[in-house]
Amino acid sequence: MPPFFNYSYTRFDYNSQNDAEHAIYLEYEGDKNGNNVPDPDEIGIKHFKGDGDFRSEECIELLKQADIVVTNPPFSLFREYVAQLNEYGKNFIIIGHQNAIKYNYVFKLIKEDKIWLGNGFTGGAAHFINRHYEDYAAAGDHKEGMIRVSGVQWFTNMDINKRHEEMILYKTYDPEEHLTYDNYDAINVNKTKEIPYDFDGAMGVPITFMNKYNPEQFEILGIFDDKREKSDAFIQGLPTYVDEQHKKYVGPVINGKALYTRILIRNKKVVKTL
């Protein structure tokens, strides 16, 4: 049985006297006393030479030994971390913010069916152990010693049942309800559950659609967003509309009003009504 590794990072303290310990990692090689529980005396505590940065040579050497990576990487380094996992061909289940869907690199992998959303958190929020910050979340499900973070998702490249579950569509296309964008030939769908079953053209849906995405039922055409990184290579041929006055990319617009980000999709299993 290959060892199980768990990384632990030291916290940088601006008030410290530069006497912080090196980062550590935990190594568990299986049950030894027969109780089927990873007891403390069965878990080896080992010290890194450096600070435990996932980009360091010693962490990469541990990564090479891993079969599956399960972790909560820094959200600010999410792109870089996913790129590393992809480079080394690792199976993974990692936590990220839903806005990572819009990153060029991540969206390219999503469109190519190389990464997708896993089973979600209840209410679209997760709790993280952190005793250094006060939890200011407005929701009521606070937990002692933890902070509540909204909009987080599991991202994975491992197959799961929900990825093959077809959405039951009940709406029919209504041109007065499903308006066409001013700046792209696609209809707007405000709620994922309201995708019309009888429309075979391009549709713009909220990014929360990715929680219901089944590649056998839908095709992802691109993304429509006004905060895209400058390169539009991953929009796969969709035109990029530039607002020359404000020097920025223009997202979906209906009747002159800008909308939030939309994922552009097509229904592969259109049911035509008589």
Separation in Å, CA 157 to CA 20, 27, 106, 169: 36, 24, 12, 26
pLDDT given at position 251 = 77
Neighbours of 66 (CB within 10 A): 17
Distances in Å between the Cα of 56 and the Cα atoms of 10, 48, 197, 200 are: 15, 10, 49, 48
Q: One-letter amino acid identity for 128?
A: F
* Contacts of the segment 84-87: beta carbons below 8 A, 24+ positions apart: 84/54, 84/55, 84/60, 86/114
**pLDDT computed for residue 20 by the predictor:** 44
Angle at CA of residue 67, ends 30 and 32, nearest 5°: 5
Each residue's pLDDT expressed in tens, for the chain with a length of 274 residues: 444 555 444 333 323 343 445 788 888 888 888 898 888 888 888 888 988 899 999 999 999 999 999 998 998 999 999 999 999 999 999 999 999 998 889 998 999 999 999 987 766 666 565 655 555 555 555 556 666 667 789 999 999 999 999 999 999 999 999 999 988 889 999 999 999 999 999 999 999 999 999 999 999 998 887 665 544 434 444 545 555 565 555 678 898 888 888 999 999 999 887 6
**Residue 189 contacts residue 172 (beta carbons within 8 Å):** no
- Sketch the domain layout of the chain as residue ranges: 4-163, 187-267
Residues 234 and 108 sit within 8 Å (Cβ to Cβ): yes
Which pLDDT score, from 0 to 100, does residue 1 have? 43
**Alpha-carbon torsion angle 220, 268, 191, 184, nearest 10:** 60
The DSSP code sequence of 136-159 is --SSS---TTEEEEESEEEEESS-
How confident is the model at residue 270, as a pLDDT? 93
Residue 111's nearest CA partner among 259, 263, 2, 4 is 263
SS (H, E, C) 32-54: CCCCCCCCHHHEEEEECCCCCCC
Side chain identity at residue 3, one-letter code: P
Q: What is the pLDDT of residue 229?
A: 54
Tell me the one-letter amino acid at 77: L
pLDDT of residue 274: 64
Do 23 and 7 contact (CB within 8 A), yes or no? yes
User: What is the structure's pLDDT at 220?
Assistant: 94
Phi-psi region of 65 (alpha: psi -120 to 50; beta: other; left: phi over 0): alpha
- Dist CA 58 CA 79 (whole Å): 21
